[in-house]
Amino acid sequence: MTENENYHLSPERQLTDAEKKLVWKKSPTHKVSEEEQRISKEVKRNWHRGEMKIANLLLEGDAGSGKTQLAKALSANFGLPYTKVTCFADMDKSDIIGAILPVISSERLEKMEPAAAENNDGEAIEYRFYPSEIVRAYQNGYLLEIQEPNVIRDAAVLMALNSALELDGSINLPTEIIRRHPDFIAVITTNRSYAGTRPLNEALRDRVQHTEKMDLPTKEIMIERVMAKTGFQDGMMLGILADMIVVLDRTARANAIKGVAGMRSFFYWADAIAGGASAKESLYHKVIYKITTDSEEIKLLEEALKNHGLLASLEEAEIEQKKNENLTTP
């Protein structure tokens, strides 16, 4: 038995071919994290324990800390199709449950002139209910990532979501009431609230049975992920880049600068350097300007790097790297 199969939740379940395609396949660059192991174990352990079942998860924390990839890894571990919904401020109920729309055959669509819809000689228009992605996952038992539900403004939408997330919950559609499939898992992913963002609705928060605080990973893990993804293996250089990302991230927060420095910046920065770009120059294009292009704010960030001695270290590392290149490429 492979490591993944240990956590399959319903080994006897038959997925359709379309569903099988939705089950995430771990890429060779995926690194199993402590969080992934912890969640997989606990969910599996409680799966058949009735009211103690763990099927609503919350991953809250830094941008780029790996929340989405963790949700996908859980899909792979549990053997459940992965789908997602990205929430937005003006979401209304039809975004949660789906919408009733007219059915128009392609034949008729061809014949239709722009204004034909109104004067179509009494021909009856058929309507059909098109369920949302949420309903599809809920009814069929998928793992659904619900991204940023904290931005939703409409209280009725939050209510619908809350009642759906009960372990024995249901969703009222115009056509029928659907029950929560026993395999349905909701993974809420959200950035930690900071000044200016709304916190996650308390009732929704109360519905989750396991929460992970997702921070920028440790320096070692940051470097491990970058090496895996980019193939760049210069540990000394990567160590300095990681330190710089951390200092920039902290400084941005401390000074209420809106942008982020995180794993995504790190990947592209390291990759640019691996491709021969100057570390100092690409620092601006891959990291700093992504945080801000405001001159005053940039000064603050540069100051912080200087105070930590990191700009000097970067220059040294670059000289060292050039030397090594000259040694290896005659």
Ligand X SMILES: Nc1ncnc2c1ncn2[C@@H]1O[C@H](COP(=O)(O)OP(=O)(O)OP(=O)(O)O)[C@@H](O)[C@H]1O
Contact set with ligand X (CB under 6 A): 29-31, 33, 63-69, 189, 191, 225, 228, 263-264, 267
d(C-alpha 60, C-alpha 213), whole Å: 5
Nearer to ligand X, 8 or 31 (CB): 31
69 or 75: CB nearest ligand X: 69
To ligand X, the closest distance from the beta carbon of 108 in angstroms equals 42
What angle in degrees, to the nearest 10, is found between the helix axes of 219-230 and 263-274? 50
Structure tokens at 81: 């199709």
Output the smallest distance, CB 50 to ligand X, in A: 31
Which of 221, 251, 254, 253 is CA-nearest to residue 239?
221
> Would you give the binding string for Mg ion spanning residues 21-60, x where CB under 5 A is met?
----------------------------------------
CB of 61 to ligand X, least distance (A): 7
Residue 68 makes contact with Mg ion by CB under 5 A:
yes
Q: Rounded to the nearest whole angstrom, what is the least distance from the CB of residue 187 to ligand X in the complex?
A: 11
In whole angstroms, the minimum distance from the beta carbon of 145 to ligand X comes to 9
User: CB within 8 A of 196, min separation 6: which ones?
Assistant: none
Which stretches of the chain are assigned E, i.e. beta strand? 56-61, 82-86, 98-103, 126-131, 143-147, 170-172, 177-179, 185-191, 210-214
Q: Give the CB-nearest residue to ligand X.
A: 66
What gap in Å lies between CA 208 and CA 39, rounded to an integer? 13
Is the CB of 59 or the CB of 240 nearer to Mg ion?
59
Burial class (CB in 10 A: 0-12, 13-18, 19+), 268: middle
Query: Is 209 a residue that touches Mg ion (CB under 5 A)?
Result: no
How far is the C-alpha of 48 from the C-alpha of 167, rounded, in Å?
A: 12
Closest separation between CB of residue 326 and ligand X, Å? Answer: 32
Q: Which does 63 bind (CB under 5 to 8 A by kind): Mg ion, ligand X, none?
A: ligand X
| CB-CB contact of 177 with 171 (8 Å) | yes
Give whichever of 35 and 297 is closer to Mg ion, judged by the CB atom: 35
Residue ranges in contact with Mg ion by CB under 5 A: 67-68
